[in-house]
Every structure is written in C-alpha cells, then in structure tokens.
C-alpha cells in the first residue's frame, strides 16, 4: 500500500492561514516545591492569597503548565478544570519535561476542537488522532520544522504512516474552545488524511496535568 500524502496546495493553505495570527509567549512548565508532604498548594481564583481557594495541587506535582503571570510576577495563571486559577510562584520551580521531537513543545500536549469534536495528542514520537466518527489513527512522527528566521514558533509537525498522514502547525496564542471559561496557551491548525477521508481543523492545546507527572 502506498503511503498517504497530504496535497501540496492544501499544505500551503494551512501555512498561509496562520499569517494573521498574533503570537504570544509560550507557556512554561513547573513542579511544586517547598510544600510539606502532608500539605497541598492552594489554587486561587485570583492572584491574591486571600482570594477564594478553588483547588489544591499535591506537593509532588510536576509538569504544571503556567500560561502567564500577573503584573507582580508572583502569581502564575494555570488552566484549572473548566476555567483558570492562580498559583503562587514562590512554590514553583522550572521543570525539565519531555518534548516533542526537536521542538520546545511538551510531550503529551493535547489539542482539540468542537463542532465537529476531534482531538490529537502528541507524544514524543507519535500522534494519536480521533474524531466523532470513531476515526482513530496512531501516526509516527516524521519530522519537525520551525518557520524560517524564528527560534521556535510557528512549529510544524508532520506525522505519517502507510494509512494516514498529518500536518500540524502550532504556536503560542491565547485560545478559547468556545464552550468553557478555560484559556489555552497554544493554538493548532491541523490537516489530516486517513483512509476515511481528509479533515482540516483548528483548535486549542494544553498539557493536561496528569500528563506532566513523572
């Protein structure tokens, strides 16, 4: 069976569709530190120690995705369930997480969109795509590219197998799924072709907290 390839003209359209996007700083990744083994780190509704406690992080939490900081730099904003939360940077230190291929993107990054519902999760060397029609494909990583003259983004990931091929272009950008109050740190445009047909999607990405645990 001949490997499935993506049409050149659609690949070009996919790249051109990003020209109007506004980039932002990429999310950073941290681990909890300085919290006793029998204690937790509070997640606050606002960047203030007296604001509502909306959850807790375990003292061994790793791979915590911090989208940005408040003006003081003392609080980091994170995605928390169906919304956002704030964590004191005093109890966080940079985490050396696994990356996708040669990019700065975190392994385990989950991207998706709605209407129609679809998702693609990027491991270090594979991508797993699924959609509402029960289309499910696991594709090995082919190669990675960074836009000319740029240090890290936009980043293009090409995955391919004998039965499917995909091109994903990701960049740090404020992104909303349109269904929740969550903010996401990355946007994605995806072109994929499988035996079931071809799809062209755009959506948001984040690193689920359980993915970062190691």
Domain ranges (residues) in the chain: 8-24+98-212, 28-94
Asked whether the predicted pLDDT for residue 213 surpasses 80, the reply is no
DSSP state of 180: S
Region 15-31: what's the mean pLDDT? 69
Q: Which of these, 77, 55, 63, 78, lies nearest to 32 by C-alpha position? A: 63
**pLDDT at residue 202 above 60?**
yes
Q: What is the CATH number of domain 28-94?
A: 2.30.30.40
> Token digits for 33?
């530190």
């Amino acid at each position: 069976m001949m490997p499935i390839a993506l049409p050149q003209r659609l690949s070009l359209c996919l790249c051109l569709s990003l020209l109007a996007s506004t980039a932002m700083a990429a999310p950073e990744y941290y681990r909890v530190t300085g919290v006793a083994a029998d204690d937790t780190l509070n997640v606050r509704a606002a960047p203030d120690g007296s604001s509502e406690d909306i959850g807790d992080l375990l003292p061994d939490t790793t791979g915590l995705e911090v989208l940005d900081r408040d003006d003081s730099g003392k609080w980091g904003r994170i995605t928390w369930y169906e919304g956002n939360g704030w964590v004191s940077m005093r109890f966080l230190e940079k985490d050396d997480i696994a990356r996708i291929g040669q990019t700065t993107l975190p392994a385990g990054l989950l991207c998706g969109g709605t209407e129609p519902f679809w998702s693609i999760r990027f491991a270090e060397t594979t991508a797993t795509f699924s959609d509402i029609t029960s289309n499910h494909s696991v594709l090995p990583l082919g190669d990675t590219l960074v836009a000319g003259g740029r240090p890290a983004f936009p980043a293009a990931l090409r995955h391919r197998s004998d039965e499917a091929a995909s091109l994903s272009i990701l960049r740090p950008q404020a992104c909303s799924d349109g269904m929740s109050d969550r903010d996401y740190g990355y946007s994605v445009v995806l072109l994929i072709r499988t035996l079931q047909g071809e799809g062209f999607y755009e959506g948001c990405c984040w690193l689920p907290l359980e993915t970062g645990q190691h």
